[in-house]
Structure 1
Amino acid sequence: MPPGLTRHERLVAAFIRTGELVQGLLDEAFEKDGIDEWSPLQDAGGRLLRVEAEAIIGSWRSGFDGGLSLDPLWPDLLRRLNGPDTVRLRQPEGYAFYALLPEIYAEAALRSGLTASTVVIGIRSIGTSLAAMVSAALGAAPAGSLRPHGHPFERRVDIGPALARRLLAGRDQSYAIVDEGPGLSGSSFGSVADWLEKNGVERSRIHFFPSHAGDPGAQASERHVRRWKERPRHLDTVDRLLLDPATARLPSWVSDLTGARCGSWRDISGGRWRKIGAAKDATRPPVDAQFERRKFLFEREAGGRRERFLVKFAGLGDVGTAKARRGALLHEAGFAPKIAGTCHGFLVQQWVETAHIPITALPRLQVLDHLARYLGFRARHLSGGGQGATLRELCDVAVYNFAGTFGEDMGKKLRLLAEAHGRPCRRLRRIDSDNRLHAWEWLVTPGGSLLKADAVDHNSAHDLVGCQDIAWEVAGAAVEFDLTAPERRRLAEAVGRLADGSLEDDVLTLFEACYLGFQTGLWWMALERASGDERAPIAALLSRYRRRAECLLDGREC
């Protein structure tokens, strides 16, 4: 393959897959033995990831130019990754959801001042591959990896004697502990540092490579917080790597992809997209900034004509590519904006100029007919659904959320509903569901047509739901558009005709209750994090969910 961004993307995709495989095999061994121990598998995995990381760093720092050199031993290293026929892999969340590019860790290592004698330790899952980026950038020995385990707020590591000897052989050298996070407790980072100190490594030799500049969360122990504040934390950011005016990597990639030279560029993450083209008296949609993906608006003026593109992180490797294909299919069918392509995990799509009116202002029948055609298309043509929660799991979460948010009585009512209708008379079939049919997600064009603003991401979001039966979609539409019982039946019948299936009222009622329970929990947590003007729209949404849930569980029309 010739040099360029496409080749670099392929290198990163292969690296992520290798990291997942190594993580899965090492975790299988850990489950079997109860400890992390040095083994031919640990050796081959670390060395293979190091080879691939070196290739990525060389490609990155050369501007994707020049030849590609891989250690001739890499095919043998790959063959040595033997294991059981079935291995449980974990999706690295940072690569899929949070724009955590592996190159960020290489750049952090190069700026750290650490030397090639540094002992690099990755924390599984994602730390398996991130540590390889650090060791390759430092020129250090291939990284080992550990699986902290135990209570989420009190992790610990158990390390066998052979691996312990290797890790401690350079105890007078620096140690780099690599992972994403820290999270609520920081105990994964803390458990590895605890073990090092317990085994004679001076605290002054410990360095952390996290994914953000914040401290561990509210569940962190005093000891871990104190150490975290005392020791160096080496990190870089996606903003500096991709948006620094000196390099302007992402604007340059988008320019090459679209053929439109960048005129201006702005970050519209965290709800800032609401300010673009909004009507003066428009209702402010609620947002949960913590779970919004990074997104940017790319603009240029040419010949008196303005061109704009939305550039949103969709996931590195196969994750982002699959979403681009899905978006292209939906655009071709007339349901979504045009997709220009992807740039190293970022999905680029045409920005849609709107008529500045909400979908709720359109005639009701027009909205219902469009929803039916959209959901029917997804059920018929995007039927290869992936993994998702079972109906039982959805019910359990909804009961918990209702009871915790609105009171035990509502939780009990939903439990009774689930017991009465929890065994649908037809077999449920997972599809590539949308999972986010809120009214503010729809765009009304100046010509009066409707487009779904964000139709490719939400069944692979960092939550429980995943891909679901079409009944989940109809239930979601019923909630978000406050459909009456006759309107819900009309929508269900229309979708059923298009999808070659039937949607019974009892199934829809149970799915609607589960949908309300899931959304209630999601937005209640968002309300707890929100401040200032952001609280009112979320509170209003929760109030509407409660009213509809009470009507549904009491068997009455709202």
Structure 2
Amino acid sequence: MLVYGDAEHTVTVGTKQAAIESTLPEIHSMPPGIARHGTLVTAFVGTAELVQGLIDAEFHELGVDTGSIVHRTGMECLSLLACAVDHSWRSGFQEVALPKEFLGKLLSFDPSWTIHTKQAEGYAFYALYPENYLEAARASGLGADTQVIGIRSIGTGLSALVAAAIGAPPPFTLRPAGHPFRREVKADPGLARKLANQATSFAIVDEGPGLSGSSFGAVADWLEEAGVQRQRIHFFPSHEGTLGPQASTRHRERWRQAPRHVRTMDDLLLGGSPPHCLAAWVEDLVGPLDGPLEDVSGGGWRRRRYADKTNWPPSNVQQERRKFLARANGASWFVKFAGLGETGARKLRMAHHLHEAGFAPDVAGWRHGFLVQSWLEDARGLDQTTFDRDGLIGQVGAYLGFRARYYPAVGQPGASMGELRHMAVYNAQQALGDDAGGSLDRSLPPSDSLEGKVRRVWSDNRMHAWEWLVSGKRLAKADALDHSASHDLVGHQDIAWDIAGASIELELSGSETARLFAIVERESGHPVSPELLVFLRPCYCAFHMGAYLMAANAIEGEEEVRLRRAADRYGRLLRHESLGPVLRP
């Protein structure tokens, strides 16, 4: 199945420098506390993306990693901020020590250069905290004579944190390349031997490992081939698990034997004490909690919305963000990981805007990655209750029109019409057979003529019935902040993608879809192509069919049944003749 993507952002160095520099006065002016620490981490995440982009640009130009001036200066710059994050964390957020030389190093790079950066998935989606690596490094027993090696992308910043915590010099980073399951290091000849002669121990730092752990393995292979004894190599992963099923025998054996140093988010934020715990951060926004946080991650939120487990909607539990319920002064709050750095700050701004416009629950604020919103205790999803159809179409149309008007996504990544078309045909072939794939290929129009009709916005991408909450006479949109900036291949799309989604998920008739279409055009102030809507409906079904099938293949039991049932529904819709033209009224 084609489901996931790996979007790159193309920016100038100057743009990144300006964004990072703009946070520094804010950090200096803020009072001590978790909010200031979070802003410091925002600067750190942005700097890590900049340095990663600079080093990767050089790597792509030369074909190898080198100990260049750009590489050294970038890691020195990043390490200064890593030390500041460490100092803030250890002082209980009371002290911030931003070295004066940081800004000079940051601005030393040519602002006219163009670089390609990638959003660090761990920071954005999986509650991977920089402080995890500070604590893991401090507990590792490693010292200043350690050579720390980061694996780009996210390992760029994580390695600087490990080095800061143990007092080691700024790290070196590598970009293992090649087949995802058989990565290889491409670096200057002799570089590994030079590093081997300078250090007592080696620390390899990255998130993961995933299906193969081949990036970790490639760097360790590179060191061993240069004469580094295996027992001198330490790993800093993001979880305590073993290598995935695609790992080589050599890598699997070494992983079992090697020292691995891990602190998980649960260790750090749920098992810690104030001020280093999530409960304290939530209290900073809503006041003293009435009791412990309730973990509703991995689909656990359904326990609070459904009286009968047999009615639960499907959930890709392995991909869900961390979520908790908090209660303070009799009010209930939904505490969801929204992302570190600018990712989370942007979602906070959007959450306030959507609430003020009457489309989403109230928001208390954002604290170092977690967004705190009102939890509507009496609400039920549209899959459990009814709502006046005219009112439903009016509210959905107003909501989508609002997004299309206020959230343009110029320059943001999203699948092209050609990529969506290829995905739809491929997924149909894989799930429904060659005949179904061939039939879809013949029925879908060419994508070239449609690309010019696309106006990309921060589309919702989650129009399912259970995402619409009925509370009294009010209809609110849940989960409205994340999905067009997720790591799937869809990304930011024309608002027609959400119109297609609403027509399918809310089972709108042809006339209801036409009315929705007209409302969105009116509220957005922009035309929407009916040809684009016709094209996107089967693409929408093919994508969700593939996503649910992939999720089902990774799990067993009741959840697998729910996921396969959902995939079957999208498969039937994809086959159905009703996915035909939807015309303007």
- TM-score, with length taken from structure 2: 0.90
Structure 1 residues 113 and 336, CA gap change in structure 2 (3 angstroms): same
Structure 1 residues 119 and 426, CA gap change in structure 2 (3 angstroms): closer
Are the counterparts in 1 of residues 204 and 233 from structure 2 also a CA contact under 8 Å? yes
Q: Greater CA deviation, 307-316 or 4-13?
A: 4-13
**Residue of structure 1 equivalent to 2:207:** 180
**Residue of structure 2 equivalent to 1:32:** 61
For 1:88 and 1:497, the matched residues in 2 are separated by 37
Q: Pick from 368, 374, 383: which aligns with 1:344?
A: 368
Are the counterparts in 2 of residues 414 and 553 from structure 1 also a CA contact under 8 Å? no
Are the counterparts in 2 of residues 398 and 514 from structure 1 also a CA contact under 8 Å? yes
Structure 1 residues 291 and 539, CA gap change in structure 2 (3 angstroms): same
Structure 1 residues 133 and 281, CA gap change in structure 2 (3 angstroms): closer
Would you say 1:209 and 2:236 are equivalent positions? yes
What is the number of equivalent residue pairs in this alignment?
550
For 1:48 and 1:501, the matched residues in 2 are separated by 44
Would you say 1:380 and 2:408 are equivalent positions? no
In structure 1, the residue corresponding to 2:445 is in which secondary structure? helix
**Residue of structure 1 equivalent to 2:277:** 249
Q: Which amino acid in 1 is paired with 2:87?
A: G
For 2:452 and 2:204, the matched residues in 1 are separated by 51
For 2:532 and 2:57, the matched residues in 1 are separated by 39
Identity of aligned residues (%): 48
Instruction: Quote the offset at 1:539 in angstroms.
Output: 2.2
For 2:266 and 2:481, the matched residues in 1 are separated by 24
In structure 2, the residue corresponding to 1:89 is in which secondary structure? strand
Instruction: Quote the offset at 1:92 in angstroms.
Output: 1.3
Q: Greater CA deviation, 160-169 or 535-544?
A: 160-169
- TM-score, with length taken from structure 1: 0.94
Structure 2: unaligned runs, 5 residues or longer: 1-28
Would you say 1:449 and 2:478 are equivalent positions? no
For 1:130 and 1:200, the matched residues in 2 are separated by 25
- Taking only aligned residues, the RMSD between alpha carbons, in angstroms, comes to 2.0
Would you say 1:316 and 2:340 are equivalent positions? yes
Structure 1 residues 72 and 224, CA gap change in structure 2 (3 angstroms): same
If asked which structure has higher relative contact order (CA below 8 Å, sep 6+), I would say 2
Q: Greater CA deviation, 348-357 or 316-325?
A: 348-357
Would you say 1:50 and 2:76 are equivalent positions? no
In structure 1, the residue corresponding to 2:532 is in which secondary structure? helix
Instruction: Quote the offset at 1:421 in angstroms.
Output: 6.6
Instruction: Quote the offset at 1:161 in angstroms.
Output: 4.0
**Residue of structure 1 equivalent to 2:521:** 496
Q: Greater CA deviation, 20-29 or 248-257?
A: 248-257
**Residue of structure 2 equivalent to 1:371:** 396
**Residue of structure 2 equivalent to 1:514:** 539
For 2:195 and 2:417, the matched residues in 1 are separated by 46
Instruction: Quote the offset at 1:504 in angstroms.
Output: 4.5
Q: Pick from 201, 211, 225: which aligns with 1:198?
A: 225
Q: How do 1:42-191 residues align onto structure 2 when only pairs under 5 Å count?
A: 42-66=71-95, 68-82=96-110, 85-161=113-189, 163-170=191-198, 173-191=200-218
In structure 1, the residue corresponding to 2:456 is in which secondary structure? coil
Structure 1 residues 108 and 281, CA gap change in structure 2 (3 angstroms): closer
Are the counterparts in 2 of residues 255 and 262 from structure 1 also a CA contact under 8 Å? no
For 1:115 and 1:260, the matched residues in 2 are separated by 40
Are the counterparts in 2 of residues 98 and 294 from structure 1 also a CA contact under 8 Å? yes
Q: How do 1:235-314 residues align onto structure 2 when only pairs under 5 Å count?
A: 235-244=262-271, 246-247=273-274, 249-280=277-308, 283-300=311-328, 302=329, 306-314=330-338
Are the counterparts in 2 of residues 22 and 81 from structure 1 also a CA contact under 8 Å? no
Instruction: Quote the offset at 1:218 in angstroms.
Output: 1.4
Instruction: Quote the offset at 1:331 in angstroms.
Output: 0.6
In structure 1, the residue corresponding to 2:455 is in which secondary structure? coil
For 1:69 and 1:412, the matched residues in 2 are separated by 62
Structure 1 residues 422 and 30, CA gap change in structure 2 (3 angstroms): closer
Structure 1 residues 538 and 412, CA gap change in structure 2 (3 angstroms): same
**Residue of structure 2 equivalent to 1:547:** 572
Are the counterparts in 2 of residues 493 and 502 from structure 1 also a CA contact under 8 Å? no
For 2:452 and 2:530, the matched residues in 1 are separated by 12
Instruction: Quote the offset at 1:281 in angstroms.
Output: 7.2
Instruction: Provide, for residues 439-484 of structure 1, a one-character-per-residue CA deviation record: whole Å limited to 9, x for no partner.
Output: 1111110x22111111111111111111111110100111112223
Instruction: Quote the offset at 1:510 in angstroms.
Output: 0.8
Q: Which amino acid in 2 is paired with 1:286?
A: P
For 1:426 and 1:177, the matched residues in 2 are separated by 46
For 1:317 and 1:498, the matched residues in 2 are separated by 32
Q: Which amino acid in 2 is paired with 1:550?
A: R
Are the counterparts in 1 of residues 209 and 243 from structure 2 also a CA contact under 8 Å? yes
In structure 1, the residue corresponding to 2:204 is in which secondary structure? strand
Q: Pick from 343, 351, 354: which aligns with 1:330?
A: 354
